[in-house]
Amino acid sequence: MRLIEATGATIASQADAINSAELVVVAVARRFYDALPLALLQNKVLVDVSNRDDAVRRRSVLSNAEYLQELVPSARVVKAFNVLSAYLLETGGIQGSKEVPLATDSESARAKVVQTVRDLGFTPVDMGPLRQARHIEDIPLHFFRQWRGAFIVVAVIFLVGYVLNFIKFQLCHNLTKNETWDWSVFKQILMTNFNRNLGVVALTILGAVYMAGIIAAFLQLYRGTKYARFPAWLDRWLRMRKQLGLLMLAMAATHGCMSLGIYHPHHQYDWLFEPPKTVRAEVKVNGTFEVQTVDIWQHHPNWRGEVFLTLGAVTLCLLSILGISSLPSVTDRLTWREFSFIQSKLGWTALVAGFLHNLVLGWDYMLTAYDCYFPTGLQYALYLPLLCFIGKLILLVPPVNRRLVNIRSGLISRPVSQA
């Protein structure tokens, strides 16, 4: 039995190859394991690099590596390398900092494979006994596990916002304002509604990111200790802040781009600009000219337009810095003090700037509920940030703040009763 390569050249007999090898890498699918030359593999260090597919997982709790160990009990099976993709290895897309988890019951085999991982330029991470292969084999199947919760939250809020927008600007507008049904407003369901909703949802999510910390602080104050676990929902919320923040950044950036394309006095935002010159002139209507008045805009922003645009640009600039500091290689270089300054101080500043950006735009609509008595998106967008500010202000009151600092440094701790 001989290994034949594409060139047709004989390289070595399988037996020779295995006998002379220090490590044998088993790179076949699990269903072919029993076709392996098991006798030759006795007493060898076997590196199982396979991945489990869903079909296998349903049939058996055993990982592929444990199954291989059962087939060749005298071998020292090591699970490793399954997280490296052939494609990225070939194109050089992964290097040094890529972590390779490994698991084995043999200390000698572990040392050997750890060394091999390092020699190949990756970072070995020992996960313990071979049983952990079950976990390791699941890693390549992970699909944005940390992102799923955040994505669902953002998607639901976006949809709710979008439907509210639709009810208000397309349905109610027609039901309450017009005598005849006006189809022209339906063209806005793509860009105008979408962009409006992007901004509203981005600000709400940014509020949600900081709200989690506020609630956690109040809970610690109420419980008088930092040693009790947070309820599961709050714990999940706290853990999804990074993902919420990055999804929010994508929305805010898209909102910025789209807004620049439609930022014009004629496009609804007339109160951000100096009033137009209204001219009485002969205007062409159905081929003939009749006297009408026409608005001629000079595109001079008024003070409100200047403030509005500046706040939008500053918010996006701050959020971008937050996003860049979340890149793994950048986070690695920041000290904790720097990281928390960016995520906390700069983040709160961005929340305030975004809040004002919205407030300047929507000032006149803040207290009215026109069209079907619905509040506008410009109002919704402020609810959560406003709650954050109120919560934060309470937490900054000196005695409250002092107590919180003491609880967090472990100096105060009421006997744990809720746990």
Instruction: Find the binding residues for its own copies in span 265-294 (CB under 8 A).
Output: 265-267, 277-284, 289, 292-294
Q: Which of 262, 295, 256, 260 lies closest to 187 in space, CA to CA?
A: 262
Binding residue for its own copies (CB under 8 A) from 3, 11, 120, 156?
120
Out of 2, 299, 345, 408, the only residue in the binding site for its own copies (CB under 8 A) is: 299
Q: How far is the CB of 113 from its own copies (least distance, A)?
A: 13
Q: Does 97 bind its own copies (CB under 8 A)?
A: yes
- Residue 14 contacts its own copies per CB under 8 A: no
Give strand pairing partners of 26: 48
According to DSSP, the β-strands at 288-296 and 277-285 are antiparallel
Give the phi and the psi of residue 331 in degrees, each rounded to 5: -55, -40
Taking the least distance from each CB to its own copies, the nearer of 75 and 78 is 78
336 binds its own copies (CB under 8 A): yes
Nearest residue to 319 via CA among 161, 210, 165: 210
- Binding of residue 406 to its own copies (CB under 8 A): no
- State which residue, 144 or 363, has the beta carbon closest to its own copies: 144
List b or e across 214-251, with b for residues whose CB sees 16 or more CB atoms inside 10 angstroms.
Answer: bbbbeebeebbbbebebeeeeeebeebbbbbbbbbbeb
* Binding-site member from 58, 107, 181, 337 for its own copies (CB under 8 A): 337
d(CA 375, CA 367): 8
CB of 337 to its own copies, least distance (A): 5
Which residues in 303-332 contact its own copies (CB under 8 A)? 303, 305-307, 309-310, 312-314, 316-317, 320-321, 327-332
CB of 296 to its own copies, least distance (A): 5
d(CA 192, CA 1): 69
Residues 6+ apart with CB under 8 A from 38: 71, 72
State the number of binding residues for its own copies (CB under 8 A): 110
Instruction: Yes or no: say if 199 and 358 are a contact pair by the CB < 8 Å rule.
Output: yes
Q: From the CB of 347, what's the least distance to its own copies, in Å?
A: 14
Q: Which residues, numbered 345-404, are part of the site for its own copies (CB under 8 A)? A: none
Residue 176 beta carbon to its own copies: minimum distance, rounded to whole angstroms? 22
Residue closer to its own copies (CB basis): 70 or 99: 99
Give me the least distance between CB of 252 and its own copies, in Å please. 11
- Residue from 129, 227, 372, 396 binding its own copies (CB under 8 A): 227
Q: Does 151 bind its own copies (CB under 8 A)?
A: no
Per rule CB under 8 A, is residue 119 in the interface with its own copies?
Answer: yes
Q: What b/e string do you get for 184-212 counting C-beta neighbours within 10 Å, with b at 16 or more?
A: ebbebeeebbbbbbbbbbbbbbbbbbbbb
Tokens describing residue 215: 């609630």
Spatial distance between the Cα atoms of 213 and 215, rounded to a whole number of angstroms: 5
**Does position 18 bind its own copies by CB under 8 A?**
no
Site string (240-259) toward its own copies, x via CB under 8 A: --x-------x--xx-xxxx
Token pair 């050249």: residue: 9
Complex with its own copies: residue 119 or 179, whichever CB lies closer: 119
- By the 8 A CB rule, do 154 and 201 touch? yes
Q: What is the DSSP string of 346-369?
A: IHHHHHHHHHHHHHHHHGGGSS--
Taking the least distance from each CB to its own copies, the nearer of 39 and 419 is 419
Residues forming beta bridges with residue 277, ordered by sequence position = 296
Note whether 95 binds its own copies by CB under 8 A: yes
Instruction: Decide: is 188 part of the binding site for its own copies (CB under 8 A).
Output: yes
Binding residues for its own copies restricted to 192-221, rule: CB under 8 A: 192, 194-195
Q: Contacts with its own copies in 42-71 (CB under 8 A)?
A: none
Specify whether the CB–CB gap between 220 and 234 falls below 8 A: no
